[in-house]
Chain A
Amino acid sequence: MAQMTMIQAITDALRTELRNDEKVLMFGEDIGVNGGVFRATEGLQKEFGEDRVFDTPLAESGIGGLAIGLALTGYRPVPEIQFFGFVFEVMDSIAGQMARMRYRSGGRYNAPITVRSPFGGGVHTPELHSDALEGLMAQSPGLKVVVPSTPYDAKGLLISSIRDNDPVIFLEHLKLYRAFRQEVPEEEYTIEIGKADVKREGTDLSIITYGAMVHESLKAAEELEKEGHSVEVVDLRTIQPLDIEAIIASVEKTGRAIVVQEAQKQAGVGAQVVAEINDRAILSLEAPVLRVAAPDTIYPFSQAEGVWLPNFKDIIETAKKVLNF
């Protein structure tokens, strides 16, 4: 096994699938010679040729449409949107077109497309580079939405995403790209889409979260442990579809839950998780399920992001409200 950062694990997954399936194509802005602005596709054009790993003109809608057309001719496209804040330029291709391909054609065509894109706050980007917009995707029927939090998960989930016969939005948190290394098998493996992972076991409170907030939640859990609280951290890994069994199993065990997301609170993934818990496990609850989320403003200009982004202290504060209810 090798020690890999998340970006290395992603490159490894991409290389694995380029080798496995000649129909896999990668394209986007600056992903060829340059290897992508974060080097996710480093060396792939050199290894697999310009026919399979190529640069496109600078037009996100065009990239989305190109992916759809290539899918119609038998390819398995893995386009990159350079930053997910640019998704508004390609919303029709994603939510209006690829999400509906199977449905619109009565099952005649499908869109085995994996849209990869970096997102997430904490690295002082300009505007529209950091926004957590996964909720927009999760609200579009026809898509699957994957948000890994570790190098190991990133590789296994990305391979599964590329092999999936429906469109998957694969969101890579900027701050996690090089945050830490982890043992990652060099051989191929998959992690099933729609399966959560209990990143820490506990008995008093469930923190249900995903993406970079997994790490803030783990930090909060450690602090709470010192005060005698046993906290479980459930990493959703896929936010559409949710792993409802894992969520409910954890809540039934602990009887208390909070949901943590990096995105703004309004109409978010967290609200969906709370509603599912209320629908399915309300009688197991000892306290209301609360949310930790960013305030309902536009993603802040970067000088304010330190306060704006939820952190482990915010999580501890909300966790205590639920623990002491």
Chain B
Amino acid sequence: MASKTKKAQFDVKKQFEAVAEQFQTLQVLNEEGEIVNEAAMPDLSDEQLQELMRRMVYTRILDQRSISLNRQGRLGFYAPTAGQEASQLASQFALEKEDFILLGYRDVPQLIWHGLPLSQAFLFSRGHFKGNQIPEGVNVISPQIIIGAQIIQAAGVALGMKKNGAKSVAITYTGDGGASQGDFYEGLNFAGAFKAPAIFVVQNNRFAISTPVEKQSAAQTIAQKAVAAGIPGIQVDGMDPLAVYAAVKDARERAINGEGPTLIETLTYRYGPHTMAGDDPTRYRTSDLDNEWEQKDPLVRFRKFLEKKGLWSEELENATIDQAKDDIKEAIKIADETPKQKVTDLMEIMYEDMPYHLKEQYEIYKEKESK
């Protein structure tokens, strides 16, 4: 029996159109290095603009050197960062020292610029626990390996800050892949429910290892996922350092004013492989797509912008490159001189007081490792 088609009670198309309209990408600086949105232009001094550029150039060099050190067997686990500098560094640049950062393994640059010594970043890569021993006063925790686990922890740190009456925020980073995890939704929802001062940054680099973002969700944007949690969501051009900075600065202001968390989606791209452990991006990305994104490069557009203002030059660029190379050399030296990690070291950091079985095993491994 043919059923009579009823008129839809609810206009789904209209709903999605309204959502799409709400989530336009924020851009301040276009690919030509021109300000296209004066109203959103952040209030940064010339020195701050130079410093942000310096950090991006430095980090690009760090990435190149890390890749080559990895190939020489002088670094271990490494997830390349080139392409994501605006997303990573301009967001960190909008923070204060007392803000706490929780992130995943591609986001080591934010830790470094928040105060983690470079030698420790290298020790982390080499699989040495000293790399994770964050110095006092540096408000970060070592990179999370479980995708998304840091997001709910960030809600907890933010709630703790609120309870402490601190004027600071917890910021957490994940990728488009992480936005599929249950912990992502739980983190947004908890922070929203508690009005906790958190910033959730999703660096949408278009691929969760190999799975394109289109296959990860039916949602048109990741930013719109904020709506379900009842918190603000914003999508920014993640290759534009000024847009990223503006969005994070704004979110931070709201958070410390007691207005709760914000979700920020940065549209970005990683030029390199997922990690240096055998990933081959040509299996899942076309060179056309790579080229398209390289045209949006954050360093290129920011350099054009600063050069026009007379704030950047070849000398400054070269001085930054030299500085990065010197620092890397020095940091590798420190990492090399760090005593080898022992199993007994790890036994000592399992509990405050060693239980009987570890004490017994400690003696066995002490003997083994003394040979």
For the complex, is B349 an interface residue (Cβ under 8 Å from A)?
Answer: yes
Set A56, A96, A141, A166: member contacting B146, Cβ < 8 A: A96
Q: How far is the CB of A126 from chain B (nearest CB, A)?
A: 22
Closest to B346 in A: A103
The answer on a CB contact under 8 Å between B130 and A72 is: no
Set A70, A106, A194: member contacting B159, Cβ < 8 A: A70
Specify which of A57, A72, A240 lies most central, judged by the most chain B CB atoms within 10 Å of its CB.
A72
Set A56, A69, A103, A107: member contacting B154, Cβ < 8 A: A69
Set B149, B193, B355: member contacting A194, Cβ < 8 A: B355
Q: How far is the CB of A72 from chain B (nearest CB, A)?
A: 5
**Residue count of chain A within 8 Å CB distance of chain B:** 44
For the complex, is A306 an interface residue (Cβ under 8 Å from B)?
Answer: no
Set A66, A73, A141: member contacting B190, Cβ < 8 A: A66
The answer on a CB contact under 8 Å between B190 and A68 is: no
Q: List A contacts of B151 (CB < 8 A).
A: 65
- Contact flags B174-207 to A (C-beta < 8 A → 1, else 0): 0000000011001101100100000000000000
The answer on a CB contact under 8 Å between A56 and B190 is: yes
The answer on a CB contact under 8 Å between B155 and A62 is: yes
Set A51, A93, A106: member contacting B152, Cβ < 8 A: A93
**Residue count of chain B within 8 Å CB distance of chain A:** 41
Q: How far is the CB of A71 from chain B (nearest CB, A)?
A: 8
Set B129, B155, B160, B346: member contacting A65, Cβ < 8 A: B155
Set A104, A107, A240: member contacting B142, Cβ < 8 A: A104
Known: A69-B153, A70-B159, A105-B133. A62 touches B187 (CB 8 A): yes
Set A69, A74, A166, A244: member contacting B158, Cβ < 8 A: A69
For the complex, is A88 an interface residue (Cβ under 8 Å from B)?
Answer: no
Q: How far is the CB of B256 from chain A (nearest CB, A)?
A: 15
- Contact flags A7-43 to B (C-beta < 8 A → 1, else 0): 0000000000000000001000000000000000000
Taken together as a complex, chains A and B put the C-alpha atoms of A62 and B193 apart, in Å, by 12
Q: List A contacts of B159 (CB < 8 A).
A: 66, 69-70, 73
Knowing that A109-B134, A142-B351 are A-B contacts, what are 11 other residue pairs whose CB atoms are under 8 Å apart, sorted by A's residue number? A62-B190, A66-B152, A66-B159, A69-B160, A70-B156, A71-B156, A97-B149, A104-B142, A106-B129, A108-B133, A109-B141
